[in-house]
């Protein structure tokens, strides 16, 4: 899933031949999961029709402050106040603003505060990051006044998507061609990821149950769904982290293709995969419900139902969290504890025994918590034994709380 997913994007289009590319640009934003509101300068409508962009964006396209033609069609008694296109509301609505193509004329107006059309009024009202993709002939692109506009806009904090070199509408070839829509999207996604709080951090997350084989068809397991671990992984990816998800058997799927998923079955396989990546990790969050015991002997064939009683001899599995704690160097190590009694005391003991920085305590005594549910009620306890109980929340919201702790650690 793209970092643009769920973002509200104002796309400003000024009057240059490259405006014809904005139909593809709108489609790419929609494909990435963004909401798009198109605002055009009057001149840009000579190059691409508002109807095309309205159909693609699934929103009306604005180009003037007031829809006079529609207002004139109303009966005198009808309200016309809704026909005012409020530039302030549009500017505040946006999470991101992109002006593409940004002509020399529009760039100069942006740099000098000229406000003679709706697009410029929205630009001056916007509180969000503003990207601009210049498009003009090569001599215009190199002109000192244009370079001055670039410099001013960069000083304002706007982000420039550099023009590309190639054949221009004038017939000349050189720098000034608006970046291709695919490249604009890639530039914005890369820039947005760099601004995220966990950009460059590597996080290993374990999720789900482990299954310990009895024979080829039977196993010892538990009721963990993997939802908590997957929600944590999704949130970590949203915050820009490189996410490595080691998961036992589960039906859950990650939301983001950037999450590297390593499916395992047994505790031994999970142990081995965790230590394969451990040295490279900045954070480890052990949310998996790992089996404490496994059959000492695994039958090579299906065990037949014969004897009235059947005894399986068990042995301990590797304690993954304790082993991670023993080998910890620089990592932030977060564990989970699912308890049914003496919850706080048992969780504190686990912090010390396993060398954890934070433990996330779940109690089966709390309604709405536990395996298989979409909600969870947790208590944070850190290595200084600071106890922070949280309210019952969705597992998605709990994942946000957990990752807030991680972000705070790196501030």
Tell me which residues are annotated as active site: 222
User: What is the residue whose two structure tokens read 């039958």?
Assistant: 299
Q: Which long-range contacts (CB under 8 A, 24 or more apart) does 322-326 make?
A: 322/353, 322/354, 322/355, 323/271, 323/275, 324/274, 324/278, 324/284, 324/286, 324/354, 325/354, 325/355, 325/356, 326/355
Tokens 């289009």 locate to 13
Cis check: omega of the bond before 380, within 30 degrees of 0: no
Going by C-alpha positions, the residue among 121, 111, 64, 53 that lies closest to residue 90 is 121
Which backbone phi and psi does 165 adopt, to 5 degrees?
-95, 145
CB 222 within 8 A of CB 180: no
Distances (CA, A) of 204 to 90, 123, 245, 318, 352: 40, 41, 6, 18, 21
CB atoms within 10 A of CB 316: 10
List 286's β-bridge partners, or say none.
206, 335
Distance CA 291, CA 326 (A): 20
| Neighbouring residues of 163: CB distance < 8 A, sequence distance ≥ 6 | 133, 134, 135, 136, 141, 175, 176, 177, 178, 179
Residues 6+ apart with CB under 8 A from 94: 8, 9, 10, 37, 126, 128
Are 399 and 287 within 8 A, CB to CB?
no
């Amino acid at each position: 899933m793209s970092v643009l997913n769920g973002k509200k994007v104002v796309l400003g289009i000024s009057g240059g031949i490259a405006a014809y590319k904005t139909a593809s640009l709108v489609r790419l934003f929609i494909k990435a999961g963004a909401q798009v509101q198109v605002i055009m300068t009057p001149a840009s409508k000579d190059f691409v029709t508002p109807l095309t962009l309205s159909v693609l964006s699934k929103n009306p396209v604005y180009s003037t402050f007031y829809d006079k033609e529609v207002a004139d069609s109303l009966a005198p008694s009808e309200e016309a106040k809704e026909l005012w296109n409020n530039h302030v509301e549009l500017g505040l609505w946006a999470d991101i603003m992109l002006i593409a193509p940004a002509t020399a004329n529009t760039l100069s107006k942006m740099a000098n505060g000229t406000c003679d059309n709706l697009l410029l009024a929205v630009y001056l009202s916007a509180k969000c990051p503003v990207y601009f993709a210049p498009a003009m002939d090569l001599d215009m692109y190199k002109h000192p006044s244009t370079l001055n506009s670039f410099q001013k806009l960069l000083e304002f904090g706007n982000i420039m998507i550099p023009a590309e070199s190639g054949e221009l509408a004038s017939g000349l070839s050189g720098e000034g061609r608006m970046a291709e829509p695919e490249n604009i999207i890639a530039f914005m996604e890369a820039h947005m990821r760099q601004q995220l709080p966990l950009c460059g951090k590597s996080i290993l997350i374990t999720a789900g149950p482990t299954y310990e084989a009895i024979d080829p068809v039977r196993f010892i397991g538990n009721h963990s769904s993997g939802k908590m671990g997957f929600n944590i992984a999704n949130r970590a990816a949203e915050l820009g982290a490189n996410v490595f998800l080691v998961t036992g058997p589960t039906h859950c799927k990650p939301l983001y293709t950037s999450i590297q998923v390593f499916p395992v079955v047994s505790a031994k396989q999970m142990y081995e995969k965790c230590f394969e990546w451990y040295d490279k990790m900045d954070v480890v969050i052990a949310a998996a419900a790992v089996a404490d015991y496994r059959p000492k002997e695994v039958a090579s064939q299906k065990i037949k139902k014969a004897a009235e009683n059947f005894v399986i001899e068990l042995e301990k599995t590797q304690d993954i969290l304790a082993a991670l704690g023993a080998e910890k160097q620089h990592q932030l190590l977060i564990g989970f504890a699912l308890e049914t009694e003496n919850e706080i005391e048992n969780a504190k003991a686990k912090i010390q025994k396993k060398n954890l920085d934070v433990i996330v305590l779940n109690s089966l005594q709390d309604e709405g918590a536990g395996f298989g549910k979409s909600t969870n009620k947790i208590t944070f306890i850190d290595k200084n034994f600071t106890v922070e109980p949280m309210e019952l929340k969705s597992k998605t919201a709990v994942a946000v709380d957990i990752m807030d702790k991680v972000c705070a650690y790196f501030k």
